[in-house]
Structure 1
Amino acid sequence: MKFKFSNPFNQNKMSQEKDNPNNSDNTIDNEQVTPVGEPFSDEISPDLPPVDEGNDLNKLKDELAESRDKFLRLYSEFDNFRKRTQRERLDLLKSAGADIIIALLPVLDDFDRAQKAFSSTNGDSTLKEGVDLIHNKMVSLLQQKGLSKMESVGKEFDVEFHEAITNIPAPSPDMVGKVVDEAESGYLLNGKVIRHAKVIVGN
């Protein structure tokens, strides 16, 4: 035989729910519900700082001007570096060629002496023509590289171009302070002195 017991606590709860049928409705009414689609307030929160569009625009302009100045400065530095590199490269090539040409100057001196010797003697004309041919070819080649010979005799003595080895009485008044004779020719390479002329000056 089975006995069925009922919980008195459950009965009280059920009784309270029956006595207060509007409990659930009251609970909902007491909650604050925001209706769907209700517009938000246009008021600005006092916690947020006001936006100053004028200051922001000026700041952007200043930053743009600063960036532009940096770019122009870097471009100028790069352009100067490029020009300096090209100039140094050309100078290096010229100096390398100058060393070779300077080393050949004594050979030109020997040719000059040989030509003077042939002119003062009745030597073999065929040999003289051969020497002149080689000399002319060599001079022509060096001239293409920028070499030029100084013309010193009869010119005013100039320390930029001449090296005085001695002074002698001038053969005429108009030769005082001028180059009377030349012991060794001077040369220019691309307009720059690579060897001063050794000269005798009249006084």
Structure 2
Amino acid sequence: MAKEEIDEKENELKSQEEQIEQEEKVAQEQNSADLNEEKESEENEENPVAEEELSAEEKLQIEVAEAKDKYIRLYSEFDNFRRRNAKERLELVKTASADLITELLPVIDDFERAEKAFHDNADVEALKEGFSLIKNKFEKTLANKGLTAMDSKPGIEFDSEIHEAITKIPVEDKKLKGKVVDVVEKGYLLNDKVVRYAKVIIGE
């Protein structure tokens, strides 16, 4: 009986030792896990700037992407505007003279009627009067569009801004030297801009 009691006690002691070892092992694992958590926490506390820097970098990447998208949109809109503007200008150039042509059509009609009158009417005075009316109508139409004839009467000072000297001729009157002696072809201004220089002869 004494031996059985001793064996039983040894078994109990052994069981208690195993239980203690198991509890120590669990405690060590728990301590290790706690240490790891503390270490990670310390690392996060020591490197908050790294997370902020990463966040700032991401923000910058987003801002760059948004700016790039905005730039592409603006460039596309400007390119469309440029093409549309070029097309409108081209159409404007093609139709710029449409108004003038439309107003000149009645003058052409008058010329056709006058041409017919030359064959049907032998009255020279009537023909002259009709021709004069057509000429005045034609000049008035051009004047309404801003066309004016230059003042290039003989005796005025030569002006290279509006005159084109085609030749010089000797003159007896000294007052005419260097001045316009004759006008070979009238000059014209369109809204105060020279569209054709007056061809003149200068005295020397």
Interval of TM-score (by shorter of Structure 1 and Structure 2): 0.3 to 0.5
From the two aligned structures, give the one with the greater helix fraction: 2
What's the TM-score once normalised by structure 1's chain length? Answer: 0.47
